Structure 1
């Protein structure tokens, strides 16, 4: 059936008008979402290390969708971002990273992303006077020690930074973020008190923690342990023969019976130290595996920040008592 020309024209005009209205609605919607979280949609967060991802989940609750880049056993000092990681960062509303050059190979990526979206180093609000430096620990020209999570009180400051960032990005759910943060900070304070009490019970002569790399400096300072490590603050350079020999002699001279391996650091060099001490007539055992730069597997107690710290403290206390 043929329609009159004026009817066909009217129908085309109505379609065109509908398309124009749809386009305008899309533009208005997009403009309305600028700088604010779209109602009913979770805030997309990408975090580098598992410790940060865990805190974001604790504080963000149902309002966040968290993607962690580095899984259990991954060394952040050596980590290189894949194309898949870049896509995850690009899709995020907020990026959280540790800073202090922990993720050394990703610094340029964060600087670029910071021009496009909220990108936060959780260490930024920690007083620099409270940070350990390489110069203070015999490592000239070394940046601040990035392993801030091993002083629970430093990590509380990092949690506050995460809270404030979420509140600023998604003010609609600010009350929830603040309430979750308050509860979590109470748990962290309890953790700090428990760690202090547990390690203070160790005999003074046993309070020496020997590890694969120098990740536990803040832990030692906060909880009164002397820390000795085979490698420096970064694992970017491998331990040399002199490092192995020096640590071997330290164990023998101080009659230290236990050393600790780390989940994210190969144990080959530590085994060489143990073998060297044995050749000098001094037996050393592995006191256990600690989580240093990475947490345990997801779904396990050690796959949370609090569970990781408690595992480390239990392992250390059992071996050094």
Structure 2
């Protein structure tokens, strides 16, 4: 994955962050850990919608939660804006995905962590070198950050976030743990739904082609082969020899659909479809997938569980098209 690039705007944000946050201490450090000292509700700022949704289910009425990135926003490319600093200034605690998903925001998060708790949901997995973490073959030491596409793995991240929030706010720790337990039971049911839905696709037709390699965890968890036209980051350069290989696979296996993503450009997918047509195989565009961001209000994908169900429905409908 490419290293983050720091622009003049980024430097300005970091400078502002140093000055703005230095005078704001919403929590106190006790025994090497931050503790919430307010009366509530806790102000939680999250980077992505997925993280914000997890924290909403954990914290419930005890928190006000904001996400820096909205629907359709690519977290790989997101840069901290000066307007974000007001949210970070007011936050009591900050949660983010981790594993370099928010690569261009990393410097701001690191600096902020000197003054208030900043928690990566992937923290326990990374610290424990969890064997379930995936790494691209050409990027030693870098993990695939798209954890949420494996519902069981994301459930473990929810449990970790609940423990960290409970440590920060012991007065309401029992509520956070109870909420997390109830939500994780819901996620266990969702995981079973996904498995049954993917198994309904004939084995030879289980091939998911998307704009970038965001569905590796989904592939491993649910038994469906995935191919991304770009790597795990949307910043990766397009490899046109790889595009030729994908075209050959689609033609040979007569795959009926490929998928665009809500937060990435459809340019490469459209080019692939044109090249398949030139080879005598018609491929259609399946319904849009939510790879890196959830959907807008009213889309049915504005929650994590809704996003997963929307993706699975689109995949099943697209890949079972050949049976119709």
TM-score bin (small chain) = 0.7 to 0.9
Q: Is the 8 A contact 1:261 1:290 kept in 2?
A: yes
Q: Is the 8 A contact 1:37 1:43 kept in 2?
A: no
Moved more, 206-215 or 166-175: 166-175
| CA distance in 1 between partners of 2:293 and 2:277 (Å) | 30
Query: Contact conserved, 2:27 with 2:116, CA < 8 A, in 1?
Result: no
- SS for the counterpart of 1:176 is helix
Change (3 A) 1:124 1:31: closer
Kindly state the Cα deviation for residue 36 of structure 1 after the two structures are TM-superposed: 2.7
Q: Quote the Cα distance in structure 2 between the aligned partners of 1:227 and 1:31.
A: 46
- CA distance 1:64–1:283, shift in 2 (3 Å): same
In the TM superposition, 1:286-297 aligns within 5 A as: 286-297=285-296
Contact 2:134/2:217 (8 A) holds in 1: yes
Residue matched to 2:302: 303
Where in structure 2 are the equivalents of 1:252-267 lying within 5 Å?
252-267=251-266
Secondary structure of the residue that 1:235 maps to in structure 2? coil
Matches within 5 A, 1:3-42: 35-39=35-39, 41-42=40-41
The answer to whether the 8 Å contact 1:287/1:315 transfers is yes
Larger Rg belongs to: 1
Larger mean Cα displacement after TM superposition, 164-173 or 99-108: 164-173
* Alignment correspondent of 2:278: 279
Kept after mapping to 1: 8 A contact 2:27/2:37: no
- Trace 1:58-97 onto structure 2 (pairs within 5 A): 58-97=57-96
TM-aligned CA deviation for residue 79 of structure 1: 0.6
Q: 1:197/1:42 Cα in 2 relative to 1: closer, same or farther (>3 Å)? A: same
- Is the counterpart of residue 189 in structure 1 residue 188 in structure 2? yes
* Number of aligned positions between the proteins: 289
Computed over aligned residues only, the root mean square deviation of the Cα atoms, in angstroms, reads 2.0
Counterpart position of 2:7 = none
The Cα of 1:110 is off from its aligned counterpart by 1.3
| Bigger fraction of residues in helix | 1
After alignment, is 142-151 or 114-123 more displaced? 142-151
Pair 1:209 & 2:211 matched: no
* 2: CA distance, partners of 1:300 / 1:259: 21
Q: Matches of 1:316 and 1:296 in 2, distance apart?
A: 16
Residue matched to 1:10: none
Partner of 2:131: 129
Residue 37 to residue 61, structure 1, CA distance change in 2 (3 Å)? farther
Shift of 1:250: 2.3
Q: Do 1:260 and 1:288's aligned partners in 2 also have CA atoms closer than 8 Å?
A: yes
1:124-147 deviations in Å (ceiling 9; x for gaps): 112531111012xxx344610000
Taking the aligned partners of 1:297 and 1:227, their CA distance within structure 2 comes to 26
CA deviations 1:211-262 (Å, max 9, x no partner) are 1110000001000001111011000134243333232222122222210110
1: CA distance between counterparts of 2:288 and 2:28?
51
* Displacement after TM superposition at 1:105 (Å): 0.7
Unaligned residue ranges in structure 2 (runs of 5+): 1-25
